[in-house]
Amino acid sequence: MARALELAKLAAEAGEVPVGAVIVDPATGEIVAEGANAPIAGHDPTAHAEIVALRAAAAKLGNYRLTDLHMYVTLEPCAMCAGAISLARIGKLVFAACDPKGGAVIHGARFFEQPTCHWRPEVEQDEAAGETASALLKAFFRARRA
């Protein structure tokens, strides 16, 4: 999660919403891929940190199925990202900050609880990192409103 938080800070420095994600092989502890929010820079509304990391991991491994890998992300995934996580068959999702407005894992649509969801990762919240991620997001948006 520490690397995901670093990526979130880099996203903020680039003017993007500060969200970072890493995909890890739990058997080796190796970071397989990482991503930071980049919809503005990439002119791509789908360039959320999770999607960026999923694309990189799939390309690196030569397979769109990322079964048994773990994703660490600084913010509760939205519906689009939860859907992509499910399609990639990520084994475990760990997120830091809750997103009551846009999240779709424990808020909103609760994507993985829907009967139409064919793959459900194990889900865990890292509450300690959530405080750091939340503070980073609040500072980013506070500066935007100033």
State pLDDT tens for residues 8-25. Answer: 999 999 999 999 999 999
pLDDT tens across 96-118, in order?
A: 999 999 999 999 999 999 999 99
Q: Is 43 annotated as a binding residue?
A: no
pLDDT, position 33: 98
pLDDT on residue 51: 98
117 in a labelled binding site: no
Percent of the residues in the chain that have a pLDDT greater than 70, as a whole number: 100
Question: Is residue 144 very low, low, confident or very high in pLDDT (cuts 50, 70, 90)?
Answer: confident
Task: Supply the residues annotated as catalytic.
Answer: 50
Q: How far apart are CA 131 and CA 146, in angstroms?
A: 22
Q: How far apart are CA 140 and CA 144, in angstroms?
A: 6
Superfamily of structural domain 1-140: Cytidine Deaminase, domain 2 (3.40.140.10)
Domain spans, the chain: 1-140
Angle, helix 2-13 to helix 127-145, in steps of 10 degrees: 0
Rounded to the nearest 5 percent, the helix, strand and coil shares of the chain are 40, 20, 35
Contact indicator for 39, 45 with CB cutoff of 8 Å:
yes
Q: Which residues contact 58 (CB under 8 A, 6 or more apart)?
A: 64, 66, 88
**Which positions ≥6 away from 26 have C-beta within 8 Å?**
68, 69, 70, 91, 92
CB 125, CB 106: distance < 8 Å: yes
At 83, is the pLDDT very low, low, confident or very high (cuts 50, 70, 90)? very high
State the pLDDT at residue 145.
87
The predicted structure's pLDDT at residue 146: 80
Question: What pLDDT, on a 0 to 100 scale, did the predictor assign at position 57?
Answer: 98
Q: 98 among the known binding-site residues? A: no
Among 139, 115, 47, 125, smallest CA distance to 84 is for 47
| Mean pLDDT of all residues in 72-79 | 98
47-65 pLDDT per residue, tens: 999 999 999 999 999 999 9
